């Protein structure tokens, strides 16, 4: 309601008015009243309160290579503190090109490679570029929660899932093929997988790729754990397989490889026909990835010898053993991961009759003595609503082993205490 009319004596142009204050609830303007928090957040808070070891978060807390830190610091001092081109500094794009051609065997050119704000930024660009109302996206499940989040928050596509079955995380190719419909826009493959650690073989990838090509469906692969594949399994990029390059967008990141989750440096490699749309979407949303951080990653790629990646894998192999052995000793049935740095442990044998949330929150935290909580993520964070609560699919926890060995040894002691 207009209650006063002010004229400051500056002529007709200075007309304004003041309205009586009304009750104003800023929250009522939100598009979503409560964003549902994943169980992981709750676990993290509770472990911090109780004291103990948090193996729930996927943040890698290992050291960042010196050259990567130097590269970023040098760039800042040299004045590289401004916006970069939306698809990244040429130095990093060139280094990524070399890596994509040699390590991934992807037949790409410089004009196919863009730096992004983490691989999450790359997926956001993919969703903005390709999804229209009524589309469907196919995911393998259990799946990485942000894959679901980014797709669902586009509010355009619905998700169809193809189950991966423990302990080896195989899938049924007929089930996959049936999931493809005329509305399917893309299939998102996480290889190596979070949370399962599944490493897709060439045969599996070719079967997926062939089914997609026949139906004009795009393939998107998230390969952020590409350097972490165990027991001699090779990492195969779908885009390197015969006939797949033009059907595939590869996304990746240095968050994990260089332990720089906070720097937000990822990349995408896309066929020329769509590259400029993807680049433009990134430009419109976040302008560019952080410039000094791009130089840090470029220096890492230029200077780190193959030994760095080999040593990293050896270190993860050791960590996998420490954690898997500790979980088995504590009575969990463990799926030894084929790749990435997570272990899935079934709760059915150790805590029959309890849901994975009850195990994660009550048994591993609330009932633990002070200082002896263990953080793990319950299955619900990795599953669609339809299967949460189905004991055959949802009685598992995810533990992360991207931690110093001493922390994992300490966790092993705490896990042993569960049997006491
Ligand atoms: C499979 C997978 N993709 C992407 C990410 C996030 O990567 P970025 O930090 O590059 O956005 C994670 C992080 O946990 C992940 O597990």
Task: Give the tokens for residue 390.
Answer: 């189905």
State pLDDT tens for residues 112-169: 999 999 999 999 999 999 999 999 999 999 999 999 999 998 989 999 999 999 999 9
Which atom belonging to ligand 1 lies closest to the Cα atom of 119? 10
Q: What percent of the chain lies above the pLDDT cut of 70?
A: 93
pLDDT 10s digits, 77-115? 999 999 999 999 999 999 999 999 999 999 999 999 999
Answer with the residue of higher pLDDT: 265 or 61: 265
Residue 61's pLDDT is 83
Residue 145 C-alpha to ligand 1 middle, in angstroms?
10
Report d(CA 199, CA 149) in Å as an integer. 23
Pocket test for ligand 1, best of 191, 228, 253 (most atoms within 8 A of CB): 253
Q: Residue 261 Cα, ligand 1 centroid: separation in angstroms?
A: 8
Q: Convert the pLDDT of each residue in 282-310 to its tens digit.
A: 999 999 999 999 999 999 999 999 999 99
Q: Is the peptide bond before 261 cis (omega within 30 degrees of 0)?
A: no
**Which carries the bigger pLDDT value, residue 290 or residue 11?**
290
Which residues of 195-304 form beta strands (DSSP E)? Answer: 218-222, 248-253, 266-269
pLDDT in tens, 234-261: 999 999 999 999 999 999 999 999 999 9
Taking the C-alpha atoms of residue 161 and residue 194, their distance in angstroms, rounded to an integer, is 15
Whether 142 lines ligand 1, by a CB cut-off of 6 Å, is: no
What pLDDT does residue 419 have? Answer: 63
Q: Is the CB of 346 under 6 A from ligand 1?
A: no
Is the C-beta atom of 224 inside 6 A of ligand 1?
yes
- Best probe residue, ligand 1, of 224, 263, 337 (max atoms within 8 Å of C-beta): 224
Mean of the per-residue pLDDT values for the chain?
Answer: 92
* Ligand 1 neighbour 223 (Cβ under 6 A): no
Regarding the beta carbon of 38 and ligand 1, being less than 6 Å apart is answered no
Rounded Cα distance between 364 and 14, Å, is: 66
C-beta of residue 75 within 8 angstroms of C-beta of residue 292: yes
Question: In 3-state terms, what secondary structure has residue 141?
Answer: strand
HSE-up of 212 (CA within 13 Å, CB side)? Answer: 28
- Name the pTM for this structure: 0.92
Other CB atoms within 10 Å distance of the CB of residue 156: 17
Distance 347 CA to ligand 1 centre (A): 25
DSSP state of 39: H
- 211-220 pLDDT, tens digit per residue, is 999 999 999 9
**Token digits for 124?**
């956001």
Residue 349 pLDDT grade (very low, low, confident, very high; cuts 50, 70, 90):
confident
């Amino acid at each position: 309601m207009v209650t006063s009319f002010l004229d400051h004596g500056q002529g007709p142009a200075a007309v304004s008015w003041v309205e009586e204050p009304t009750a104003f609830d800023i929250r009522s303007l939100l598009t979503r009243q409560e964003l549902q928090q994943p169980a992981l957040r709750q676990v993290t808070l509770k472990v911090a309160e109780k004291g103990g070891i948090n193996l729930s978060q996927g943040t890698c807390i290992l050291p960042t290579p010196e050259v990567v830190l130097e590269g970023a610091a040098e760039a800042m001092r040299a004045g590289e503190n401004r916006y970069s081109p939306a698809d990244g500094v040429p130095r990093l794009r060139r280094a990524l090109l070399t890596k994509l051609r040699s390590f991934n065997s992807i037949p790409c050119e410089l004009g196919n490679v863009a730096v992004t704000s983490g691989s999450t930024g790359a997926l956001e660009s993919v969703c903005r570029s390709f999804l229209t109302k009524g589309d469907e996206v196919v995911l393998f499940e259990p799946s990485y929660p942000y894959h679901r989040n980014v797709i669902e928050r586009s509010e355009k596509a619905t998700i169809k899932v193809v189950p991966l079955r423990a302990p080896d995380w195989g899938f049924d190719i007929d089930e996959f093929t049936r999931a493809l419909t005329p509305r399917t826009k893309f299939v998102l493959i996480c290889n190596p997988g979070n949370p399962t650690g599944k490493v897709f073989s060439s045969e599996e990838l070719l079967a997926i790729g062939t089914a997609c090509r026949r139906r004009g469906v795009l393939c998107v692969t998230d390969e952020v754990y590409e350097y972490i594949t165990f027991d001699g399994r090779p990492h195969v990029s779908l885009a390197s397989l015969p006939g797949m390059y033009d059907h595939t967008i590869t996304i990746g990141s240095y968050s994990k490889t260089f332990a720089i989750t906070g720097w937000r440096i990822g990349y995408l490699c896309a066929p020329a026909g769509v590259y400029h749309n993807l680049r433009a979407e990134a430009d419109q949303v976040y302008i560019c990835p952080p410039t000094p951080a791009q130089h840090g990653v470029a220096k890492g790629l230029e200077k780190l010898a193959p030994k760095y990646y080999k040593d990293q894998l050896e270190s993860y192999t050791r960590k996998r053993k420490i954690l898997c052995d500790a979980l088995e000793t504590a009575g969990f049935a463990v799926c030894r991961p084929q790749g990435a740095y997570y272990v899935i442990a079934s709760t059915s044998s150790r805590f029959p009759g309890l849901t994975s949330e009850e195990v994660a929150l009550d048994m591993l935290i609330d009932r633990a003595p002070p200082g002896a909580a263990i953080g793990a993520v319950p299955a619900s964070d990795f599953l669609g609503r339809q299967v949460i609560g189905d004991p055959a699919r949802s009685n598992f926890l995810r533990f992360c082993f991207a931690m110093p060995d001493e922390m994992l040894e300490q966790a092993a002691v705490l896990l042993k205490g569960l049997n006491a």
